[in-house]
Amino acid sequence: GESVGLHLPTLSVQEGDNSIINCAYSNSASDYFIWYKQESGKGPQFIIDIRSNMDKRQGQRVTVLLNKTVKHLSLQIAATQPGDSAVYFCAELTSGTYKYIFGTGTRLKVLA
């Protein structure tokens, strides 16, 4: 649904470990999904996208998984680095609309 909540969930991982960030989306008619990374004081930065006709897509060090049955999206980051520390948002686009709906966001903290 619409992004709500004042307190971001936080995921803390050791440098070099893999990170998994999860997102539950709201609309079964959503057919396009994007993961964004937002660093402090900056706008969201595109990481990777996936369409509903796929269930997995890989980029450089990142993988997005889509489970349409349970309306769940995940972002996997391999070999997490300090520069990965940021807030991560998923965004969904429902077929027939132009309105992206963003999730609540997850703060990723990478521990040295």
CB of 83 or CB of 96, closer to another protein: 96
Decide if residue 108 touches another protein (CB under 8 A). no
Judged by CB under 8 A, the residue of 25, 64, 104, 110 near another protein is: 104
Angstrom distances, CA of residue 110 to CA of 3, 10, 13, 59, 85: 24, 11, 5, 20, 6
Round the CA-based radius of gyration of the chain to a whole number and report it: 14
Residue placing its CB nearer to another protein in the complex, 3 or 14: 3
Q: Are the beta carbons of 19 and 111 closer than 8 angstroms?
A: no
Q: Which of 11, 27, 49, 76 binds another protein (CB under 8 A)?
A: 49
Q: Considering the complex, what minimum distance in angstroms separates the CB of residue 11 from another protein?
A: 16
